[in-house]
Amino acid sequence: MLKKIFNQLLHLSEEYLALLSEENCRLCRQEIIKPVLKDDSFKGNTSLAFVNLNLDNAYFKNYFKASQTICNYCLAKAYPDKVFLTTYDLIDDHVLTVLSATQYKGHAKWLIYQLKYLKDSLIAIDLAVFLLKAWLGLKPIISNEIRLDNYLIVPVPLHPKRLKERGYNQASKLGQNLSRLTNIPFNSKAIIKIKPTKSQQGLSREDRLINLNGAFIGKKEIVKDKTILLIDDVITTGSTLKACSQALYIAGAKSVYGLTLAISLKYK
């Protein structure tokens, strides 16, 4: 409970920092003069797919006032218009279905780069709305009646050494913000990475799988009988999400689905 309050406070302070500081749009670099999607300027803008979202969510109302890292103009251009679905076979006849909000190119690629390598964690607040699009795409596939208390948002973990170098896990930032938008609980300790692995970039599909062999362990006490929404920034060959899903099933998860911000179609 205390931890939850602390997390909320931490998040609020991030939002207020964003409100107080003069933020520039991460795409066009123009100063963001007024908060994105605040007040009546949003109402007439039907080009934004946001109209389909659940605006009754109290957090969401605040979200619109706090969203600061992408200007209204760029947001309308960058907001995904369709989602991508991929499926992967796992051991024991399990299938992993992954929904991705957009392609890993252009605006999305640049925003993810800033979140991941330029330590711009505020972007995760805005990018979580993109991720929400992937969740809304997955919902009808899962079931018509979803009991969210049985769901858990889990980020793909970084090895502790990498986490220390980077300062934060970008998948965790995205997962936390998605949790606030959906009210689905979040737990960053559900999978741990026990083996440091080489960067997957530049490796073939086969080498990626070998590289990740035995790298992840699921925590039984956290994931048992839960439906897991596994979060990552980008999916390329699916090797990382597959390895994490296997670990979660071994630990007793009921089902596992993947949600990623972007999909790289290079290997497809």
Pairwise CA distance, residues 33 & 22, whole Å? 8
Give me 51's structure tokens.
């109209």
* Least Å from the CB of residue 66 to Zn ion: 17
Among 18, 27, 191, 234, binds Zn ion (CB under 5 A): 27
Among 11, 24, 28, 136, binds Zn ion (CB under 5 A): 28
* Least Å from the CB of residue 250 to Zn ion: 44
CA distances from 35 to 20, 126, 236, 260 (A): 11, 12, 33, 26
Are residues 145 and 233 in contact, defined by beta-carbon separation less than 8 angstroms? no
Among 36, 74, 234, 247, binds Zn ion (CB under 5 A): 74
- Side by side, the strands of the sheet bearing 227-235 are 84-89, 95-103, 255-263, 227-235, 151-155
* Least Å from the CB of residue 171 to Zn ion: 25
Are residues 64 and 48 in contact, defined by beta-carbon separation less than 8 angstroms? no
Under the binding rule (CB under 5 A), the answer on residue 184 touching Zn ion is no
Among 18, 37, 66, 71, binds Zn ion (CB under 5 A): 71
Nearest to 127 by CA among 181, 202, 65: 181
Number of residues that bind Zn ion (CB under 5 A): 5
* Least Å from the CB of residue 32 to Zn ion: 8
Per CB under 5 A, contacts with Zn ion among 111-150 are: none
* Least Å from the CB of residue 46 to Zn ion: 20
Residues found near Zn ion in the complex (CB under 5 A)? 25, 27-28, 71, 74
